[in-house]
């Protein structure tokens, strides 16, 4: 594809984003507009925005590469993304969150928690946790997007990073959540369409159907390299050996960590409060599940099947043909798809990055602006202006992280954030919806203990983070405190989430005071 | 099933397909349900309570 056509496609894309961002800006005059998109978003926009925010470029490029290397075990993640991330999230969490959120007039996730428990401390702490932990997650996506632009357009990384951050900053700061969700809907639609094409063209290229390709892939199990066999790889259509290092990583980090972690993501929870009634959430279940199937379901399947393509064309499996996990999907697209699709796929990756980033920036900005500064401050100020300032500040912090932290730390940003969110927020969030007796004190200490346990597991136990951060090495002279299996490969959430659950249950049962919460709204 | 012999994998695909079928059926059946929320009066009550609290605070 020549640079001129590529330039035209990107220009058309940027003009569309500008239009949607401006549309969001024109309709954002109140706090509710800026923070909750007015509370009357169309179910299609809500569901696609939720999915596009959830599925970042790393889910497509990174996890697609993991599927190419390790096979179809990742389909469990697609199932959890759909069942937990959409069905359970929308029907069991979303409906009540929307209803209670509207009653309480909550505009953000921390505000929802704070008002549910009638505690400003909870709101401020939740806002602070999001503002501290999320920039690392945003930096992963920001850096990934900038590297992608650098390679596609062959421009300097620093310029790519600056322009990428600037474009997103423009429509998030101006358009608020309306701007974010309108652009998400466009980006999600591009992702959906290109994934469907990718699936159809893949099976056409290898000349097999779904079942036939799976049989062929099963027969290729003998091609698994010895170093992968050693960590539990048993073929691309088989689960890894139970108890092996790869099995622990797949089951605890990828499947449980990411699959369950989605339930307490502030930037996703806030979307439940953007729709007018339960009807929109019912419709969104259908749209959301189909979207997740079309994105992660397809990329995980195509990733594994790409081994057949590389074997047919180069006589070797994907990882041997490409050598870099993150380059398998881009190389596969380049080698197997029509030329014009490479440009569309480039937009798909940009869309996946931008839809995730815009929501992260918005969530961080509202956390520091509305939940921390406006809540602590006693003076009456213009909240929307403070929130806009918060968003701008959050973007600058994420931008700086891209330059200051090591690649090893940034690469773990997604898992770190998911783990911290689940352990800190999930028990308090669940109890705010379903356990009326929960006291503010129990919720607050559950959040503190979940956050602390997460930090401890990340800094001293889980090898991938503790080695990258180096604090355990500095203090104790060894990369992890417990080097006996499975501790170094056990996801931090498996340790920290039970801690926060136990704290909230025990403190609530020990407390006789059930009047701490505003029970009027917990119907 | 689906050309895959390991139940650990074909079960995952089966659950994915069942989940989509459930979501489609659920979405179609409930497409127009849940539009009439009954919480509107309660929201007004809550605002009224908040105003009441403010008044009390001001008086204090």
DSSP of A280-337, one letter per residue? Answer: HHHHHHHHHHHHHIIIIIHHHHHHHHHHHHHHHHHSS-HHHHH--GGGHHHHHHHHHS
- Residue A110 CA to residue A108 CA, distance in Å, equals 6
Q: Which class does domain A3-22+42-412 fall in?
A: mainly alpha
Q: Has residue B1 been placed in a domain?
A: no
Contact residues, chain A, for B12 at CB < 8 Å: 72-73, 75-76, 78-79
Peptide bond into A193 cis (omega under 30): no
Q: What's the Cα-to-Cα distance from A25 to each of A105, A170, A176, A177, rounded to whole Å?
A: 22, 10, 7, 9
DSSP-derived 3-state class of residue A419: helix
Q: What's the Cα-to-Cα distance from A48 to each of A121, A285, A288, A356, A453, rounded to whole Å?
A: 33, 10, 6, 12, 34
- Residue A235, phi-psi category: left (phi > 0), alpha (psi -120 to 50), beta (remainder): left
Q: Has residue B28 been placed in a domain?
A: yes
Please, what is the end-to-end C-alpha distance for chain B in angstroms? 73
Residue A390 token pair: 């918060």
For residue A478, which phi and psi values (nearest 5 degrees)?
A: -145, 150
Residue A373: CB atoms within 10 A of its CB come to: 19
For residue A263, what is the enclosing H or E element?
A: none
Preferred mutation among A282, A290, A293, A522 to probe B, highest tally of B CBs within 10 A:
A282
Q: Across the interface, do A75 and B27 touch by the CB < 8 Å criterion?
A: no
pTM value? Answer: 0.85
Non-local (6+) Cβ contacts of A391 within 8 A are: A169, A172, A173, A361, A362, A364, A365, A366, A369
For residue A365, what pLDDT is reported? 87
pLDDT digits (tens, 9 = 90+) for A352-369: 889 889 888 988 888 888
Q: Has residue B24 been placed in a domain?
A: yes
CB-closest option in B9, B36, B42 to A103: B42
Residue A301 token pair: 């399947």
Q: Has residue B2 been placed in a domain?
A: no
For residue A246, what is the enclosing H or E element?
A: helix A245-248
- The residue of chain A nearest to residue B42, with distances taken between CA atoms, is A103
Give me the residue spans of the domains in chain A. Answer: 3-22+42-412
Q: Has residue B15 been placed in a domain?
A: yes
Preferred mutation among B15, B17, B19 to probe A, highest tally of A CBs within 10 A:
B19
Helices A43-54 and A157-206: crossing angle, nearest 10°? Answer: 100
Torsion of CA B5, A332, A69, A492, to 10 degrees: -110
Torsion of CA B7, B10, B15, B17, to 10 degrees: -160
pLDDT digits (tens, 9 = 90+) for A304-313: 999 999 999 9
Residue tagged 């946790």 (tokens)? A129
DSSP of A7-39, one letter per residue? Answer: HHHHHHHHHHHHHHHHHHHHT--SHHHHHHGGG
CB-closest option in A73, A102, A282 to B43: A102
Q: Has residue B35 been placed in a domain?
A: yes
Torsion of CA A460, A361, A113, A444, to 10 degrees: 30
Quick one: which of A126, A138, A25, A144 has its CA closest to A394? A138
DSSP of A39-85, one letter per residue? Answer: G---HHHHHHHHHHHHS-HIIIIIHHHHHHHH-GGGHHHHHHHHIII
For residue B55, what pLDDT is reported? 61
Residues above pLDDT 70, as percent of chain A: 95
Which segments of chain B have a pLDDT < 70? 35-60
For residue B41, what pLDDT is reported? 46
pLDDT digits (tens, 9 = 90+) for A27-83: 877 877 878 777 778 888 888 888 888 888 878 888 888 899 889 999 999 999 999
Q: How many residues does chain B have?
A: 60
Cite the beta strand spans of A164-241 per DSSP E.
Answer: none
Q: For residue B49, give its domain range.
A: 7-59
- Residue B29 CA to residue B38 CA, distance in Å, equals 21
Residue tagged 């029509």 (tokens)? A338
A252: DSSP letter: I
Each residue's pLDDT tens digit in chain A (523 positions)? 567 777 888 888 889 988 988 888 888 778 778 787 777 788 888 888 888 888 888 788 888 888 998 899 999 999 999 999 999 999 999 999 998 998 888 889 999 999 999 999 999 999 999 998 888 888 888 888 888 788 777 888 889 889 989 999 888 888 888 888 899 899 999 999 999 999 999 999 999 999 999 999 999 989 898 888 888 888 999 999 988 888 888 887 777 777 787 888 898 888 888 888 888 888 889 999 999 999 999 999 999 999 999 999 999 999 888 888 888 888 899 889 988 888 888 889 889 889 889 888 988 888 888 888 888 876 656 677 888 888 898 889 888 888 877 666 666 777 788 889 999 999 999 999 998 889 999 999 999 999 999 999 888 888 777 887 778 888 888 878 777 777 787 888 888 999 999 999 999 999 865 554 544 334 3
Residues above pLDDT 90, as percent of chain A: 33
Quick one: which of A223, A177, A194, A171 has its CA closest to A50? A177
Peptide bond into A486 cis (omega under 30): yes
Contact residues, chain A, for B26 at CB < 8 Å: 282, 285-286
How many separate domains does chain B show?
1
């Amino acid at each position: 594809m020549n640079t001129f056509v590529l330039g035209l496609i990107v220009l058309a894309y940027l003009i569309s984003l500008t239009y949607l961002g401006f549309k969001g800006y024109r309709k954002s005059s109140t706090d509710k507009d800026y923070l909750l998109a007015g509370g009357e978003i169309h179910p299609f926009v809500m569901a696609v925005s939720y999915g596009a925010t959830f599925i970042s470029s790393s889910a497509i490029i990174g996890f697609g590469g993991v599927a190419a290397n390790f096979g179809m075990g990742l389909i469990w993640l697609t199932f959890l993304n759909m069942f937990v991330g959409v069905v359970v999230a929308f029907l069991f969490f979303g409906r009540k969150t929307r209803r209670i959120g509207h009653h309480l007039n909550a505009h953000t996730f921390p505000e929802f928690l704070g008002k549910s428990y009638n505690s400003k401390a909870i709101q401020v702490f939740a806002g602070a946790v999001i503002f501290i932990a999320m920039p690392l997650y945003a930096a992963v996506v920001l850096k990934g997007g900038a590297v992608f632009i650098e390679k596609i357009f062959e421009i300097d990384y620093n310029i790519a990073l600056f322009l990428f951050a600037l474009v997103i900053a423009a429509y998030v700061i101006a358009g608020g959540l309306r701007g974010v969700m309108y652009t998400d809907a466009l980006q999600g639609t591009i992702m959906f369409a290109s994934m469907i094409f990718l699936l159809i063209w893949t099976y056409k290229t290898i000349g097999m159907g779904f079942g036939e390709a799976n049989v062929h892939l099963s027969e290729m199990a003998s091609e698994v390299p010895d170093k992968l066999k050693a960590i539990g790889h048993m073929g691309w259509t088989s689960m890894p050996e139970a108890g092996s290092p790869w099995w622990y990583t797949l089951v605890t980090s990828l499947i449980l960590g990411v699959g369950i972690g989605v339930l307490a993501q502030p930037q996703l929870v806030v979307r439940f409060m953007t729709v007018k009634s339960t009807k929109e959430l019912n419709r969104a279940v259908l749209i959301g599940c189909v979207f997740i199937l079309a994105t992660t379901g397809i990329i995980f399947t195509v990733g594994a099947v790409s081994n057949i393509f590389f074997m047919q064309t180069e006589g070797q499996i994907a990882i041997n043909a490409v050598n870099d996990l993150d380059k398998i999907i881009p190389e596969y697209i380049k080698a197997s798809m029509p030329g014009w699709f490479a440009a569309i796929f480039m937009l798909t990756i940009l869309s996946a990055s931008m839809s995730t980033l815009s929501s992260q920036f918005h969530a961080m900005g509202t956390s520091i602006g509305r939940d921390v500064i406006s809540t602590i401050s006693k003076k009456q100020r213009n909240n929307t202006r403070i929130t806009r300032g918060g968003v701008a500040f959050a973007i600058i912090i994420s931008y700086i992280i891209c330059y200051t932290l090591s690649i090893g730390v940034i690469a773990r940003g997604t898992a770190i954030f998911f783990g911290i969110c689940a352990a800190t927020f999930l028990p308090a969030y669940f109890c705010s919806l379903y356990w009326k007796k929960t006291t503010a004190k129990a919720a607050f200490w559950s959040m503190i203990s979940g956050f602390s346990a997460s930090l401890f597991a990340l800094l001293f136990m889980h090898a991938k983070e503790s080695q990258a951060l180096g604090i355990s090495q500095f203090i104790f002279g060894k990369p992890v405190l417990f080097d006996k299996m499975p501790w170094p490969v056990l996801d931090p959430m498996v340790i920290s989430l039970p801690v926060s659950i136990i704290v909230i249950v025990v403190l609530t049962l020990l407390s006789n005071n059930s009047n701490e919460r505003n029970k009027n709204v917990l119907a | 099933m689906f050309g895959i012999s390991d139940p650990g994998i074909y079960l995952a695909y089966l659950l994915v397909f069942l989940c989509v079928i459930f979501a489609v059926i659920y979405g179609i059946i409930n497409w127009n349900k849940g539009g009439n929320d009954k919480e509107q009066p309660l929201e007004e009550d809550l605002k009224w309570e908040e105003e009441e609290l403010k008044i009390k605070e001001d008086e204090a």
